[in-house]
Structure 1
Amino acid sequence: MKDNRTKRINQVQESTLVIGIDIAKENHYACAIDSRGRELAKVWRIHQSREGFIQFEEYIHMLMNQHQKTDVLIGFEATGHYWMNLAHFLKAIDFPFVLVNPLHVKNSKEMDDNLQTKNDAKDARVIAKLLPNGYFSVPRDMTPVDHSLRQGSAIRERLRKDIGAVKNRIQRWIALYFPEFRQAFKNFGKQELTVLKLTPLPEDIKEASAEELVIKQKEAGAKYAGKPKMAKLINLARHSIGLTEGAQMARLEIQSLVHQLELLDAQLEEVTTQMVEQARYLPEFEYLVSVKGISENTVSELLAETGSLQNYEHPRQIIKLAGLTLRENSSGNHQGTKRISKRGRRRLRALLYKAILPLIHNNEAFNSVYTYYHSRQYNPLKKKEAMVVLCRKLIQVFHGLSRNQASFNPERMLADLSYITESRAA
């Protein structure tokens, strides 16, 4: 890590013009300094438009000529999506740019004036002064496949949230107008959605027979529920305590929400399929799915967050990216408890954690590792702690498969973990 920071510091020489930019929706603010942090010009505004970007380029060349600078380094925070247009322009004109951690900006904001003041000019100045000390990261070059996977992952996340919101709204209407409905149907399956679409309220059901409702569902071309379940639903409808006022609008709302849910489910399935197809173009895809218990969807989402794993020299880089690096708070004789930092990509960390449970049940090698950490005689880990250890181990395995272009071998994995092999033998 120290070597990497030294390399970043060495990027700023006496001949380098350093520019920090505070990103906003319409107007960015920039500050120019030299390698020692001395300001070379007043903070100026950059309009989010082609004209504003061209003027920004011309002003940079003017400052470079005025102060005899031959190189330039531009840094800014990755604020929302507003920085992407500027980054695309800088890449087109071959101006190097780097990203600054927003947390670093927040924590160092008071170092100059010891005030909690926050404004665009001050933020630009703080960002600029972080660059000569190497407090930045160089964004990786993304291929068309990387862009597709990243955008697909964002779309999937939004669709999942929308699906959850629609389901909650359906639950609310059911609780108001047909609270007994959940006694017959537990989940949002195809049968339940068919019933809600055709007969969402008790008054639509209680006067009909089970045969009539099944025929009605068949005629709609949807998956129908069985007669015993429909008979039970009819009996529940006849004794329902649901509201009856505003039934017409309630029926319309429930049917509309069911249509929305079906559309969102279809969109999510299509995006998932497209992501898997895109992920197949990456060289390590076939090796990562060779791990028993890991699905193609999991691999596609993982690669959407990390890109090709061949771009990483060591699995520790991916572990840090996921926020799974261990931290502790110790001082003197006090030895603090180690915890994961959670300074990383939340979706990547959640994806890895969700992938561990099926991995434990379906993969004997990972099950052995989990069992060892959870039940070892000295310092046994809690279940969740052991699962976090497996998250880190899964990253190491994925990185090894990607770098070596090899399929997963459970015996080889356990052979590398001699302490587990010895524990099993004992």
Structure 2
Amino acid sequence: INTITAVLDEYFPEFETVFKQPFKGKASMHLLKVCPIPKFILELGEDGVLDEIKKAVKKTVGRKKAAQLVEAAKDSIGVDYGEYAARFKIQQLLEELELITNQLEALEAEMAETLKKTEVSEYLLSITGMGVVSLATCLGELGDPLRFENARQMSRMAGYNLIEDSSGKNKSGTCISKRGRKNLRSVLYQISLTLVANNKELRQLYNYLKTRENNPLKKMQALVVISKKVLTLIFTLSKKKAYYEPELVFGSYRKSQLQAA
């Protein structure tokens, strides 16, 4: 997408003023294949562009867009040489983009089907903000949550257990060991970012950790705590075969801390 956009910026930067999201609409994707550059748009004219839009979109729309595109092509500041090579390059890149998109869709569908075969997916997907791909990737690294005796074992597997951070005679506190699965930490980090943005309870905890009066944490440190909380949720919901309930996310002590903040 970035490469296609770079070519458009050179030859027809105004295309994205007509189609705000050119890689999501059927009409814009079709026009990118047929006439992505002013030369070919002007050759088609407004009626020709409209005919191409109708090939991609069945409903009766497009006259306004066709007119806007032609006007933009007339006043374009893009370069006016090598148009055929540029169009061919865009067509080739679009074919590659479609292939990758189809492969991703097939992969995600396979992940969803495999996830259904586990005994715990419906409970874990009830966590607000948790998606199929994120959960499948996490369980792919973590394995069956039911094989663990407690959430601490999961944390150690990810390398989240704390060790002394020292060098010679200097002791500066503790840090996570990172003696675990790097890929698991990576996916937990991505999940934590998503949950902090979409999960009210974990966002509240994240903000509290960064702003508390005693020992406020930096962003990355707070996300590690959120990641460990995610593992606790995975363990608890899997073991109990229970759905996510916001009021049960925190114990009484943590609730009192959050309320006081």
Same structural fold, with TM-score higher than 0.5 when normalized by the shorter chain: yes
- Aligned 8 A contact 1:194 1:224 in 2: no
Which residue of 15, 30, 47 maps to 1:181?
A: 15
Which residue of 253, 256, 259 maps to 1:418?
A: 253
Establish whether residue 280 from structure 1 lines up as the match of residue 126 from structure 2. no
Name the SS of the counterpart of 2:5 in structure 1: helix
Establish whether residue 318 from structure 1 lines up as the match of residue 154 from structure 2. yes
Task: Output one character per residue of 1:55-78: Cα deviation in whole Å (capped at 9) or x when no partner.
Answer: xxxxxxxxxxxxxxxxxxxxxxxx
Establish whether residue 190 from structure 1 lines up as the match of residue 25 from structure 2. yes
Find the counterpart in structure 1 of residue 6 from structure 2. Answer: 172
- Aligned 8 A contact 1:194 1:223 in 2: no
Name the SS of the counterpart of 2:172 in structure 1: coil
- Aligned 8 A contact 1:190 1:223 in 2: no
Q: Which amino acid aligns with 2:255?
A: I
The verdict on how the C-alpha distance between 1:208 and 1:413 changes in structure 2, with shifts beyond 3 A counting, is same
Q: Distance in 1 between matches of 2:249 and 2:90?
A: 52
With the length of structure 1 as denominator, give the TM-score of the two structures: 0.53
Find the counterpart in structure 2 of residue 401 from structure 1. Answer: 237
1:164-313 to 2 correspondences below 5 Å: 167-187=1-21, 188-191=23-26, 192-210=28-46, 212-221=48-57, 226-313=62-149
Aligned length: 259
Q: Which ranges in structure 1 are unaligned for 5 or more consecutive residues? A: 1-166
Q: Distance in 1 between matches of 2:44 and 2:62?
A: 15
Find the counterpart in structure 2 of residue 163 from structure 1. Answer: none
Q: Distance in 1 between matches of 2:181 and 2:50?
A: 48
Q: Distance in 2 between matches of 1:231 and 1:322?
A: 56
Residue 177 of structure 1: how far off its partner (Å): 2.5
Q: Which amino acid aligns with 1:418?
A: Y
1:13-52 to 2 correspondences below 5 Å: none
Residue 336 of structure 1: how far off its partner (Å): 2.9
The Cα RMSD (Å) is 3.0
Residue 186 of structure 1: how far off its partner (Å): 4.7
Q: Distance in 2 between matches of 1:216 and 1:321?
A: 55
Bigger mean CA deviation after superposition, 355-364 or 368-377: 355-364
Name the SS of the counterpart of 2:42 in structure 1: coil
Residue 329 of structure 1: how far off its partner (Å): 3.0
1:132-147 to 2 correspondences below 5 Å: none
Residue 208 of structure 1: how far off its partner (Å): 4.6
Task: Output one character per residue of 1:254-311: Cα deviation in whole Å (capped at 9) or x when no partner.
Answer: 1122122122212211211121111111111122112122122322222222221112
- Aligned 8 A contact 1:177 1:243 in 2: yes
Residue 339 of structure 1: how far off its partner (Å): 4.6
Find the counterpart in structure 2 of residue 391 from structure 1. Answer: 227
Query: What percent of counterpart residues are identical?
Result: 36
1:310-349 to 2 correspondences below 5 Å: 310-327=146-163, 329-331=165-167, 334-336=170-172, 338-349=174-185
Task: Output one character per residue of 1:352-391: Cα deviation in whole Å (capped at 9) or x when no partner.
Answer: 2222234234433223322321221112223343222111
Establish whether residue 379 from structure 1 lines up as the match of residue 177 from structure 2. no
Name the SS of the counterpart of 1:378 in structure 2: coil
Q: Which amino acid aligns with 2:13?
A: P
Bigger mean CA deviation after superposition, 338-347 or 272-281: 338-347
Residue 422 of structure 1: how far off its partner (Å): 4.0
Find the counterpart in structure 2 of residue 133 from structure 1. Answer: none
The verdict on how the C-alpha distance between 1:414 and 1:194 changes in structure 2, with shifts beyond 3 A counting, is same
Establish whether residue 354 from structure 1 lines up as the match of residue 214 from structure 2. no
Q: Which ranges in structure 2 are unaligned for 5 or more consecutive residues? A: none
Higher helix share: 2
Q: Distance in 2 between matches of 1:195 and 1:169?
A: 17
The verdict on how the C-alpha distance between 1:412 and 1:216 changes in structure 2, with shifts beyond 3 A counting, is same
Q: Distance in 1 between matches of 2:209 and 2:72?
A: 49
